[in-house]
Structures are given as structure tokens and as C-alpha cells.
């Protein structure tokens, strides 16, 4: 599972870079910036939860420009990949106990949390894509399988 989640988080950062580039190219639309900034803040919060640490300071919906978000995308990718590299196979089934920002307690397996982080990013990238498409953007193909094919240059 370590290799699988490493690929997913690398893909996630690649897809975030694609959409952040469109945010920059199409005039920094506020709502699109908000979704991307939220996606990135949530990644940081979830990483701290997985590590058993308190949430980082700052809002869940920060106001960031695309240039600042570009650096955060890279930092989040690095932080998640370093964390995943420390995991043992049995860690993916470990139950993580955490509190939401509202203080409600929950438990989920680490594998389910990792899947959630990736799906959360996909959800918000779709929202960003819809907004920049309305501004005239041609959306890049962001399907995971296309990323993997390109990564491995696999053809028949």
C-alpha cells in the first residue's frame, strides 16, 4: 500500500499544479483560489491528524494567491511523501483517533483517511475546473490512469 499511496499523493500534487496554473492564467478567480487554498489547508490538517499532532494554525479557508499556493503544493507533497515513507504495512490498518476543528471526535483507519485526502482534492479540483472553464479555459486531462500511463509510458 505504501507504493500505491505514494503514487496517489504524487499524482495529487501534479494535478494540483495543473489547476493552480489555470488559476494563475485566468486572473486568480476568487472562488477557485479559495477552493485550492482550502484543499491545501485540509491536506495539512489531515497530515497532522495522522501524525497525532494538533492541527496547524490558520483558517480552513485561507486567502492565498496562486504563487504562494505553488509553494504549498510542493511542501504538502514532500511532507506527505516523507510521512508515507515511514509507514509499515500494518500501519495502513491502524485506527487514527482525531477531533474535527469543531471538536467532534472520530476514528478512521489510516488507509481510509489517505483515500479521503485524495478524494477531497479531486472534488475541489472539479469545482475549480468548472469555474475556470466558464472563463474560457481548456481543461487538461487529469485522469489518474492518464497520469500513470504518461509516467510509465505504457502502450500496447
Residues belonging to the binding site for a divalent metal cation are 38, 120, 124
Binding residues: 38, 120, 124
Q: Rounded to 5 degrees, what are φ and ψ at 108? A: -145, 155
Residues 6+ apart with CB under 8 A from 107: 95, 96, 97, 98
Answer whether 27's CB lies under 8 Å from 21's CB.
Answer: no
The number of C-alpha atoms within 13 Å of 13 and in the hemisphere containing its C-beta is: 17
Amino acid at each position: 500500500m505504501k507504493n500505491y499511496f505514494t503514487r496517489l499523493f504524487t499524482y495529487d500534487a501534479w494535478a494540483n499544479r495543473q489547476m493552480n496554473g489555470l488559476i494563475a492564467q485566468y486572473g486568480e478567480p476568487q472562488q477557485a483560489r479559495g477552493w485550492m487554498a482550502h484543499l491545501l489547508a485540509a491536506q495539512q490538517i489531515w497530515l497532522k491528524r495522522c501524525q497525532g499532532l494538533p492541527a496547524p494554525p490558520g483558517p480552513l479557508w485561507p486567502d492565498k494567491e496562486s504563487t504562494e499556493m505553488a509553494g504549498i503544493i510542493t511542501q504538502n507533497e514532500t511532507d506527505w511523501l516523507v510521512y508515507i515513507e515511514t509507514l509499515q504495512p500494518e500501519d495502513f490498518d491502524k485506527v487514527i483517533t482525531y477531533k474535527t476543528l469543531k471538536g467532534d471526535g472520530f476514528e478512521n483507519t489510516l488507509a481510509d483517511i489517505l483515500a479521503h485526502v485524495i478524494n477531497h482534492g479531486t472534488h475541489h479540483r472539479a469545482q475549480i475546473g468548472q469555474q475556470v472553464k466558464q472563463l474560457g479555459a481548456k481543461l487538461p486531462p487529469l485522469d489518474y490512469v492518464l497520469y500513470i500511463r504518461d509516467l510509465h509510458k505504457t502502450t500496447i
